[in-house]
């Protein structure tokens, strides 16, 4: 069995009388890219903060490399929090060099790495600029550079491409892919389902603080039907034990089927039932479709939760 870099077992998190996480268990294996998915309020950030020691769990085990995480273990960890935190009144190069020194790099090495990274992300001309003079997307690039500059073995990225245009999203995805190729284990908290399908080996979907689904992309897709038949037609789609009608609109329907279902037989049955089929295509059910199916009707009242304390950067002790 592959080594678990992250091991969470029986995790429960209560804030007063409110239970946010219930009996959550999963592993992240060495060298994989793991998608951590869920709607707003489902417990993703709470789990990450408990894993990094920012919250004390009510119950359960949360380990990184076989032990509870402590800040002194952070030299090989890169954490990009959803709430970004940098010294915005300082120059870009000074900030990056400072964080490099905190992570054990020599000043010269930190400056050289930072210059090469800024060139890569088209910010070389901003090295002497104050951070608060940069756009939010540019600041995000600097934050990612700070996160990966010590060649971390474990990367935890909370919405890494949030607010990015397609060009910069692609650039950051390339950089994250390079980290994995270099041997890093990557945990991605994201709502970008296309990124998850392209990059992730396995995923977990949280709903109301519990695991709705957990496994490889194929395993999760198979749990929710595996394949989708999209039909444009005239008539009435008959109900059948061979498929589930997951969407039905005027002259259009989507039928969920398993991988072993014979779609040619379904097409024949539709025609025999008097359905005039104008278009009939089969595709794998997408993670976006699954996400909408699982969370589309979910309305989580944030006012019922207590205000969370500020997160602290697990590596440098800075509020973010």
Q: What was the pLDDT predicted at 270? A: 95
CATH T-level topology, domain 4-216: Rossmann fold (3.40.50)
Q: How confident is residue 258, by pLDDT bands cut at 50, 70 and 90?
A: confident
Residues of the chain above pLDDT 70, percent: 89
Q: How confident is residue 84, by pLDDT bands cut at 50, 70 and 90?
A: low
Instruction: Give the mean pLDDT of 203-212.
Output: 92
Which position has the higher pLDDT, 176 or 91?
A: 91
Structural domain boundaries of the chain?
Answer: 4-216, 225-284
Judge whether residue 305 has pLDDT over 70: no
Instruction: Give the mean pLDDT of 121-144.
Output: 91
pLDDT tens digit sequence for 235-248: 999 999 889 898 89
Q: What was the pLDDT predicted at 38? A: 87
pTM over the 0.85 mark: no
Q: Which range (18-32, 34-48, 111-125) has the least confidence?
A: 34-48
Q: What was the pLDDT predicted at 303? A: 37
Instruction: Give the mean pLDDT of 169-196.
Output: 88
Q: How confident is residue 192, by pLDDT bands cut at 50, 70 and 90?
A: confident
Rg (CA), the chain: 23
pLDDT tens digit sequence for 52-65: 999 999 999 999 99
Q: Which range (22-26, 125-129, 150-154, 230-234) has the least confidence?
A: 150-154
């Amino acid at each position: 069995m592959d080594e678990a870099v992250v091991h969470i077992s029986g995790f429960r998190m209560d804030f007063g009388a409110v239970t946010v996480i219930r009996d959550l268990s999963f592993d992240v294996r060495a060298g994989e890219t793991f998608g951590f998915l869920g709607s707003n309020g489902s417990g993703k950030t709470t789990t990450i903060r408990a894993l990094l020691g920012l919250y004390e769990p009510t119950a359960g085990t949360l380990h990184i490399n076989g032990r509870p995480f402590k800040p002194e273990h952070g030299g090989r960890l890169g954490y990009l929090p959803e709430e970004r935190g940098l010294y915005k009144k300082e120059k870009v190069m000074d900030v990056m060099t400072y964080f490099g020194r905190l992570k054990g790099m020599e000043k010269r090495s930190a400056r050289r790495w930072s210059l090469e990274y800024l060139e890569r992300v088209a910010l070389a001309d901003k090295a002497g600029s104050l951070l608060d003079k940069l756009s939010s997307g540019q600041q995000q690039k600097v934050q990612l550079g700070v996160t990966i500059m010590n060649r971390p073995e474990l990367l935890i990225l909370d919405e890494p491409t949030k607010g990015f245009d397609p060009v910069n999203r692609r650039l950051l995805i390339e950089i994250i892919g390079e980290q994995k190729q270099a041997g890093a284990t990557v945990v991605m908290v994201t709502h970008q389902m296309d990124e998850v399908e392209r990059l992730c080996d396995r995923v977990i979907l949280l709903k109301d603080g519990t695991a709705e689904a957990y496994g490889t992309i194929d395993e999760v897709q198979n749990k929710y039907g595996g394949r989708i038949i999209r039909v444009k037609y005239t008539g009435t789609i008959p109900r059948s034990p061979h498929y589930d009608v997951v969407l039905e609109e005027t002259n259009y329907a989507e039928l969920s089927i398993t991988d072993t279902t014979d779609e040619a037989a379904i097409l024949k049955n539709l025609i025999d039932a008097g359905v005039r089929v104008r278009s009939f295509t089969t595709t794998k059910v997408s993670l976006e479709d699954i996400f909408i199916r699982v969370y589309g009707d979910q309305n989580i009242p944030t006012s019922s939760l207590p205000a969370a304390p500020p997160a602290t950067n697990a590596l440098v002790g800075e509020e973010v």
